[in-house]
Amino acid sequence: MVSFEFFIGKRYIRSRRAKFFISFINLISLAGITLGVGALIIVLSVMDGFQNDLRDKILGVKPHIVISDRAGGGIQNYEVETEAAASVKGVASANPFIINQGMLKSKYYTEGAVVFGINPERAGQIPNSGGSETMLRPGGKLPGILVGKELASRLLLSEGDEVILITPIFKASPLGMIPKVGKFEVAGTFKSGMYEFDSAFAYISLKDAQELFEMKDRVTDIEVRVSDIYNLHPVEVMLKNKISGGLRIQNWQQMNRNLFSALKLEKILMTIMLTLIILVAAFNMLGSLIMLVMRKTKEIGILRSVGASQGSIMKVFVWQGMILGLLGTGAGVTLGTVTAFLLKKYQFIKLASDVYYLDYLPVEVKAVDIAVVVAASLLLSFFSTLYPAYKASKLDPVEAIRYE
């Protein structure tokens, strides 16, 4: 059953006798809430999509957990440590690897690279490499190497080309100290979707890396991939009990803390800035309600004289503001979610991959974000009605209709 306060509040909004200026301010308030809510939902969806996409691409290349030697000398007996890590509950896989700096030299150019030595079985898991474990196994005269797509483009490399890997390890020779080098055949390229990785990373087999970087029977790290990337603490506790005491454990959140902290801060700042749009619309609504109270003095006095309580008068103007808030919020949610889903489906906004981490605008619509935006919008709308409604309820009915 609709209360008479709701009925009168709705009637004041739709009244044809209302002054044009007051109606126009109501329209501006409605449009402001719609645009504010819509923009906030779109921006939050883009920020969530950007963070999720960035996280997935980072974890597609980098480990969930890294086990390394505290002293920096490399992990000995890595087969035993790897088996111990793989036996922990919640661990999907554990693999040893070597990471080091180097330079790749083609016929035309030389570029710096981050070189990973991995088990050949891991080659098929490298994003968009289109390869298998045979890619890094010595099949011809030279061992294989997988090169990032952007790095291969800068070096003018294609599959089957020969490339020289220059290491930071120097050897004495008749000509003085010269760096140790190795020759490889480009077995293929990979594309992680992140320019930072695709322009710097290269993969060779673990055995080749041990020989080239003179690691002998050691590795620099052990990568651990888990089933649940958000439930790392129990896995880390069990890993510490399984592996040797001289080893250190770091998870992906710790290794990328600065990046994701910056994204979180940016999301908070954008939310605050866009909420100001809704706040401005709420102030417009407050102004229009104050003017309406001044104009409806006679009607308020009549309502009070026929028995309407102060609480009922307050509810009339609260309902009027809340109707505007509900309409604006509903329209904003529709505008924001439809736009976000269109952006997600068609990806018609492209980004420069050499400037940004991604080559398109990612979108992830979350029900929690929409609920928070709706709650904030309705709360601001409600608070903007309180002062005008209070002033209306305090009007003296005798003074209001004395000269009418």
Instruction: Give the pLDDT confidence score for residue 87 in this predicted structure.
Output: 93
- For the chain, the structural domain boundaries read 4-58+259-401, 71-245
Maximum Cα interatomic distance, the chain, rounded to a whole number of Å: 113
Instruction: Give the pLDDT confidence score for residue 176 in this predicted structure.
Output: 77
Phi and psi torsions of 32, nearest 5°: -65, -45
Give the number of other Cβ atoms within 10 Å of residue 230's Cβ. 7
Mean pLDDT of the chain: 84
- Look at 6-10, 100-104, 234-238, 300-304 and tell me which has the smallest mean pLDDT: 6-10
* CA separation for the pair 38, 322 (Å, rounded): 18
Residue 313 has pLDDT above 70, yes or no: yes
* CA separation for the pair 404, 402 (Å, rounded): 6
Instruction: Give the pLDDT confidence score for residue 152 in this predicted structure.
Output: 95
Burial of residue 153 (CB within 10 Å: 0-12, 13-18, 19+) is middle
- What angle (nearest 5°) sits at the alpha carbon of residue 95, between those of residues 94 and 99? 135
Q: Which residue has the tokens 């020779």?
A: 173
DSSP string, 327-359: HHHHHHHHHHHHHHHHHHHH---B--TTTSS-S
Residue 400 has pLDDT above 80, yes or no: no
Instruction: Give the pLDDT confidence score for residue 122 in this predicted structure.
Output: 81
384 and 280 in contact (C-beta within 8 Å)?
no
Residue 17 has pLDDT above 70, yes or no: no
**pLDDT tens digits, 222-238:** 999 999 998 899 999 99
Query: In the beta sheet, which residues pair with residue 387?
Result: none
Instruction: Give the pLDDT confidence score for residue 194 in this predicted structure.
Output: 82
**pLDDT tens digits, 158-188:** 988 999 999 998 887 777 788 899 999 998 8
